[in-house]
Amino acid sequence: MKKQLVLLCAALWLVSCGDESTSKIDTNNTPDDMAGSDSMAEVDIVPTDTDDTLPDETGDGLLSDEDGLVANDTDPNCQPGDFPDVCGSWAQVMIFTSTANGAGFDVVIVEIRTLSLLTQRQQGGHLWVDSKMCHIEIINKTALNPVKILMPQSFADALILLHKEADITIDGNYFQPTYWELRSVDQTSIGADPSAYELPTTPDDPRAEDWDNNDIKGLTVLINAGFSNGTTHIVQKSSSELTGVVAGTGQDQMIGGTVYWTEKQAVLTTDNPLFKTGMQNIIDESKPNTWQQKRIPAEWSCTDVTANGGTLFPQ
Give the torsion sign (CA, 26, 30, 36, 37): positive
Do the Cβ atoms of 260 and 283 come closer than 8 Å?
yes
* pLDDT value, residue 275: 79
The string of pLDDT tens digits covering residues 188-239 is 999 999 999 999 999 999 999 999 999 999 999 998 877 778 899 999 999 9
Coil, helix or strand at residue 37: helix
- Residue 7 C-alpha from the chain's centroid: 12
Task: Report in angstroms the alpha-carbon separations of 185 from 27, 146, 189, 194, 206.
Answer: 11, 31, 8, 12, 9
* Cβ neighbour number for residue 313 with a 10 Å cutoff: 18
The string of pLDDT tens digits covering residues 3-17 is 433 333 333 333 333
The DSSP 8-state label assigned to residue 208 in this structure reads: B
* Cβ neighbour number for residue 36 with a 10 Å cutoff: 12
* pLDDT value, residue 87: 96
